[in-house]
């Protein structure tokens, strides 16, 4: 391990201790009211005064859960600057040039009622900067949330790659950004969409970007089709609707005609299309990469992120409720969990396959980005763990300006000839230059490497390095020959000398890319019945939002090639005849892959939220005891009452006006009195398969509201017994038996009706 890597680990250790101490302090009371369990979400590091402050003071520090980019120079050198040194300075308001200002509320005028004067520099500077505050949002992945963290390698990859950050015990700082694909920056978090999962590793050999998705396959096989699929998925250009969703004609027109998109589409129609949380979401590198070890041996590799909390989704109704009640749900969930000390973790795992001349494995073309390699054929090898433990201190400077690129590689990790990946290697660099105003985006603090930079690149917009010397060219003698080229012994990034087969220049694809349906069938038939029902529900909703009948029928014909029962269920919901599968499409019956299921395992409950419904008649001592028990188990108790305020000394964190069932993973009812708003919250939690506990004295009121206390996952009895049982149900994510019994609305088959060339609703 290099000195830089050792220092980096020490710095992160101290950050972790500060966060842990802060969390422990809050959980045990700290400066808060006695007995108060820590609740994340405070907007500032200290409470505000009731009256406007008038005594000058220096800027407040970030909250304990927040950090910024490492304080590095534009050329990668570490500095001793504290975080506050790169934030605003001083007690007084100034211009951008540092001149103190006496007034920022009134323009300079010719008299109190006179015209504004052109000489008002402060007005012009303030308004001009405001006019230029925004930069172009990303064409895709515009809506994002991010966090800082650390990746620690376990050494299992040492025989696979020579990448130094994957050696045993090496700790590498990271910044990870999660995102939706189709929506604008202002869209909702919980739409049905693919999610981005991009991680920047600040390694001692340079920046390595792993630009992943939460779905392991993509819509297209060749990058030249990327503008087409995104244009099809984006809002219709005439009305700019619908926003952040694929439930419209142009999307289904494209994917039903361009059938290589069917595999990605069915993943998107599954529960993976609406994750429960970024903390509970897998990530996939999508492409096959070529790894090289110290001996020069190569392997073909697929990269996976596996969440320690398991992979979970929202129900469709939950996603709809959140779209109205809390469109920021996913970013809030991530930030609150980190602030509460429930730091999310993912294992980084590899599927390692021989680097054969045909670049296939078990008959699967590894250069086809619309195909997976089932884990049963090639098990995962865990090579390290990422922990996200600090929130950004400034969204724009970090989350918005971070620039990822799949071509940011380190020695030991190289690309393959996957035609989608090859196009991305151009597109990402071009995009960053457009968004961030020029070629010097790597000098933005969040993008700065933690390795020496001597690139001979000069000038350009936003150049913040102050270069010395007179010879930014190679070779030179005027600067003493510096910089010098490195060899393999000096850790240079040298592309793997992969052979290129003799061929001809043409616009074509290999025949092995032609099977668009066999793995789609494999995915669907690998799911549990309740997951299959959710897939059918999603297709029925999405196609039901299409106007043109022929687009629905064309997609149904594709579903017929995937699974006859799936096609029949969706066709019945749409009220159209069941089409025959295309006789010219050959579909293989591959062995199911149980690893593709999201249902059936148990997972840690760190950061899970349990709502405790109480009121003025609730025993305060019992309420405090159960809050502490839930917090001690690693979950987050949320007290819900008819109004805000306090129950005894215990703060009410949600009133019936602000509580929503969707943010809760379980509900514990202590209030004996019936309240219609409480009944609505419980009814929603019941429909969504949440664990529900009801103490003896509250059973009568709950039953009077119509809730079936005998249903699976509804516990009744003494408080301690019910609380323990509820915590025991949380690791399963939901009470799946209740959903399978009809606790959640599902597609109801409707009678078929005649088809016609266009929608019968067309005027």
* CB contact at 8 A, 73 and 79: yes
Distance CA 630, CA 63 (A): 25
Tell me the sheet residues that pair with 292: 298
Q: Quote the distance between the C-alpha of residue 519 and its chain's center.
A: 25
Distance CA 757, CA 748 (A): 25
Nearest to 234 by CA among 277, 285, 187: 187
* CB contact at 8 A, 150 and 172: yes
Whether a cis peptide bond, with omega within 30° of 0, leads into 483 is yes
User: Cβ neighbours of residue 216 under 8 Å, at least 6 residues apart?
Assistant: 267, 284, 286, 302, 304, 372
* CB contact at 8 A, 352 and 377: no
What are phi and psi for residue 237, nearest 5 degrees?
-70, -20
- 636-641 and 654-655 strand pairing: parallel
Distance CA 98, CA 122 (A): 11
Tell me the sheet residues that pair with 212: 197
Distance CA 715, CA 472 (A): 73
Distance CA 341, CA 353 (A): 38
SS3 for 134?
coil
Distance CA 671, CA 678 (A): 9
The DSSP annotation for 534-564 comes to HHHHHHHHHHHT---HHHHHHHHHHHHHH-H
122 tagged catalytic: no
Nearest to 516 by CA among 248, 256, 226, 251: 256
Distance CA 245, CA 182 (A): 7
Q: Within 10 A of 132 (CB to CB), how many other CB atoms are there?
A: 8
User: Cβ neighbours of residue 350 under 8 Å, at least 6 residues apart?
Assistant: 157, 160, 291, 301, 302, 303, 304, 380, 381, 383
* CB contact at 8 A, 616 and 647: yes
SS3 for 149?
strand
Of 213, 214, 391, 440, which residue is the catalytic one? 213
Query: What is the torsional sign of CA 242, 245, 248, 252?
Result: positive
Q: Within 10 A of 192 (CB to CB), how many other CB atoms are there?
A: 23
Pinpoint the alpha helices (H) of 234-368: 249-257, 262-269, 316-325, 329-339
Query: What is the torsional sign of CA 680, 683, 688, 692?
Result: positive
What are phi and psi for residue 66, nearest 5 degrees?
-105, 150
Q: How far apart are the first and last CA of the chain?
A: 71
Q: Within 10 A of 645 (CB to CB), how many other CB atoms are there?
A: 11
Q: Quote the distance between the C-alpha of residue 294 and its chain's center.
A: 34
141 tagged catalytic: yes
Of 141, 264, 312, 688, which residue is the catalytic one? 141
Active site residues: 141, 213
């Amino acid at each position: 391990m290099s000195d830089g890597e050792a220092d980096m680990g020490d710095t992160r250790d101290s950050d972790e201790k500060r966060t842990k101490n802060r969390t422990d302090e809050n959980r045990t009371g700290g400066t808060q009211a006695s007995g108060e369990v820590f609740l994340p979400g405070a907007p500032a590091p200290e409470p505000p005064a009731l009256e406007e402050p008038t005594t000058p003071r220096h800027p407040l520090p970030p909250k304990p859960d927040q950090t910024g980019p490492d304080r590095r120079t534009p050329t990668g050198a570490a500095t001793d600057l504290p975080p506050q040194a790169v934030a605003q300075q001083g007690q007084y308001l100034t211009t951008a040039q540092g001149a103190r200002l006496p007034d920022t509320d009134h323009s300079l005028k010719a008299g109190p009622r006179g015209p504004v004067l052109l000489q008002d520099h402060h007005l012009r500077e303030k308004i001009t900067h405001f006019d230029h505050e925004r930069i172009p949002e990303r064409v895709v992945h515009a809506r994002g949330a991010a966090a800082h963290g650390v990746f620690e390698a376990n050494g299992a990859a040492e025989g696979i790659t020579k990448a130094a950050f994957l050696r045993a015990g090496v700790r590498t700082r990271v910044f990870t950004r999660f995102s939706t694909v189709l929506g604008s920056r202002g869209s909702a978090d919980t739409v049905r969409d693919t999610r981005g999962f991009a991680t920047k590793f600040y390694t001692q050999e340079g920046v390595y970007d792993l630009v992943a998705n939460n779905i392991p396959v993509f819509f297209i096989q060749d990058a030249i089709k990327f503008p087409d699929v995104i244009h099809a998925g984006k809002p219709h250009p005439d009305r700019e609707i619908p926003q952040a969703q694929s439930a419209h004609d142009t999307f289904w027109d494209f994917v039903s005609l361009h059938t290589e998109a069917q595999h990605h589409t069915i993943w998107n129609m599954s529960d993976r299309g609406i994750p429960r949380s970024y903390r509970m979401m897998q990530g996939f590198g999508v492409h096959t990469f070529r790894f090289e070890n110290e001996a020069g041996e190569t392997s073909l590799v697929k990269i996976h992120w596996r969440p320690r909390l398991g992979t979970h989704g929202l129900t469709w109704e939950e996603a709809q409720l959140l779209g109205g009640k809390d469109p920021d749900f996913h970013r809030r969930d991530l930030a609150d969990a980190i602030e509460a000390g429930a730091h999310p973790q993912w294992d980084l795992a590899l599927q390692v396959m021989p680097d054969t001349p045909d670049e296939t494995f078990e008959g699967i073309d590894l250069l086809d980005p619309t195909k997976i390699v089932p884990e049963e054929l090639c098990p995962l090898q865990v090579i390290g763990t990422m922990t996200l433990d600090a929130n950004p201190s400034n969204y724009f400077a970090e989350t918005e300006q971070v620039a990822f690129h799949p071509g940011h590689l380190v020695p030991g990790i190289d690309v393959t000839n996957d035609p989608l990946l090859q196009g991305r290697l151009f597109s990402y660099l071009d995009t960053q230059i457009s968004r961030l105003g020029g070629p010097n985006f790597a000098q933005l603090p969040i993008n700065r490497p933690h390795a020496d930079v001597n690139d001979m690149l000069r000038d350009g917009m936003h150049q913040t390095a102050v270069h010395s010397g007179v010879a930014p060219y190679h070779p030179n003698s005027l600067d003493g020959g510096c910089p010098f080229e490195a060899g393999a012994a000096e850790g240079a990034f040298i592309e793997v000398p992969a052979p290129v087969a003799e061929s001809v220049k043409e616009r074509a694809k290999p025949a092995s890319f032609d099977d668009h349906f066999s793995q789609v069938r494999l995915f669907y038939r690998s799911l549990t019945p309740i997951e299959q029902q959710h897939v059918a529900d999603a297709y029925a909703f999405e196609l039901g939002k299409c106007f043109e009948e022929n687009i629905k029928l064309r997609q149904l014909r594709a579903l017929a090639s995937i699974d006859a029962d799936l096609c029949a269920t969706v066709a019945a919901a749409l009220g159209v005849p069941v089409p025959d599968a295309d006789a010219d499409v050959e579909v293989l019956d591959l062995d199911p892959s149980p690893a593709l299921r999201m249902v059936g395992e148990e997972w840690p409950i760190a950061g899970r939220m349990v709502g405790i419904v109480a009121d003025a008649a609730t025993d305060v001592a019992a309420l405090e005891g159960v809050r502490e028990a839930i917090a001690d188990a690693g979950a987050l108790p949320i007290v819900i009452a008819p109004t805000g305020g306090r129950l005894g000394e215990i703060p009410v964190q949600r009133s019936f006006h602000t509580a929503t069932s969707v943010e809760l993973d379980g509900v514990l009812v202590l209030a004996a009195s019936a309240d219609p708003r409480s009944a609505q919250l419980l009814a929603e939690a019941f429909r969504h398969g949440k664990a529900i506990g009801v103490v003896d004295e509250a059973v009568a009121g709950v039953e009077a509201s119509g809730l079936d206390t005998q249903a699976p996952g509804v516990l009744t009895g003494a408080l301690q017994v019910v609380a323990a049982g509820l915590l025991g149900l949380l690791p399963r994510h939901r009470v799946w038996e209740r959903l399978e019994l009809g606790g959640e609305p599902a597609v109801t088959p409707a009678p078929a009706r005649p088809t016609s060339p266009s929608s019968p609703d067309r005027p």
